[in-house]
Chains A and B, each alone.
Chain A
Amino acid sequence: KAGVTQTPRYLIKTRGQQVTLSCSPISGHRSVSWYQQTPGQGLQFLFEYFSETQRNKGNFPGRFSGRQFSNSRSEMNVSTLELGDSALYLCASRGYGAKDTQYFGPGTRLTVL
C-alpha cells in the first residue's frame, strides 16, 4: 500500500512569510504526528492528531499550528517565518494499535531566507 506522502518536498520562503505543509497518511491510519529535524536540535515533536483532534503538542511557539481533516490528511502551518525555522519537517502516521510504530514520510525541506 502507498506510504506517507508530503507536499511540497522543497520550499524556499523569506522571513515574515507563512507556509503550509501537507501530509497524507497511510490509508486507514488516523494518527498523524509532525516533527521538526535540524542538525542542532535533532528530531523535535511538534504535535499529534487523531481523528481530527490534537492530542498532544510539543514545546513550540504558537506560530506553529496544525489541523487534521476527516480523511486523516493533515496540514501544518508556520506563520511569521524566522530563519531558525529552516528545517526538515517530517510527518508520520501510525496504525491501528497503540503500540504500532510510526511510518515517516519523505519530509519537506523548508529554507527561510
Chain B
Amino acid sequence: ELKVEQNPLFLSMQEGKNYTIYCNYSTTSDRLYWYRQDPGKSLESLFVLLSNGAVKQEGRLMASLDTKARLSTLHITAAVHDLSATYFCAVDYTGNQFYFGTGTSLTVIP
C-alpha cells in the first residue's frame, strides 16, 4: 500500500521567516496534490503537480515535485499569520484513490 509521510507534523514559525514542509511517498507517482485545511473547515485545493520537476507558486507558497526522489516540498516564504492552517499532501496512485499524508499543522507567530 502506498505510504505518504509528511514532516514536520507540527511547525511553529515566526512571521517573516521561511520554512519547508516535506512530503515523501513510497511508490512512483506523477500526481501530487497539496491542500489546506483551516480548523473546523474542509480541505481547499492549493496545488496540482503532474510531472517531474513541476513547480507551482501562489503568493507566499511554492510547491515542487521530484518524482525520482518521490518527494514534494511546500515552501513558505516570509510567513504571515493568515497561513496558519494544516497542510496536507496527497498522492493519486491508482487514478481513483488519493492517499493523504499525515498533515502538517502550521502556526505562524507574530
Could you tell me which A residues sit within 8 Å of B by CB distance?
31, 33, 35, 42-43, 45, 48, 50, 55-56, 58, 90, 92, 98-107
Chain A residue nearest to B30 in the complex (CB): A99
- State the CA gap A9–B29 with chains docked (Å): 34
Q: Is B88 an interface residue (CB 8 A)?
A: yes
Flag if B96 contacts A43 (CB, 8 Å).
no
Category for how many chain B residues contact A: 20 to 34
- State the CA gap A32–B37 with chains docked (Å): 19
Chain B residue nearest to A55 in the complex (CB): B96
Flag if A42 contacts B45 (CB, 8 Å).
no
CB-based A-B contact count at 8 angstroms: 50
- State the CA gap A57–B44 with chains docked (Å): 23
A106 → B minimal CB distance (Å): 5
Among B18-26, B61-69, B72-80, B99-107, the stretch in contact with A: B99-107
- State the CA gap A99–B92 with chains docked (Å): 8
Chain A residue nearest to B48 in the complex (CB): A101
* Contact indicator per residue, chain B 22-45, by CB within 8 Å of chain A (1) or not (0): 000000000101010000011111
Flag if B43 contacts A99 (CB, 8 Å).
no
Could you tell me which B residues sit within 8 Å of A by CB distance?
31, 33, 35, 41-45, 48, 50, 88, 90, 92, 94-100, 102-103
Other A-B pairs, 8, CB within 8 Å; known A48-B96, A92-B98, A104-B42: A31-B96, A33-B98, A43-B103, A45-B98, A56-B94, A56-B96, A90-B43, A104-B35
B69 → A minimal CB distance (Å): 20
- State the CA gap A31–B31 with chains docked (Å): 17
Chain A residue nearest to B47 in the complex (CB): A101
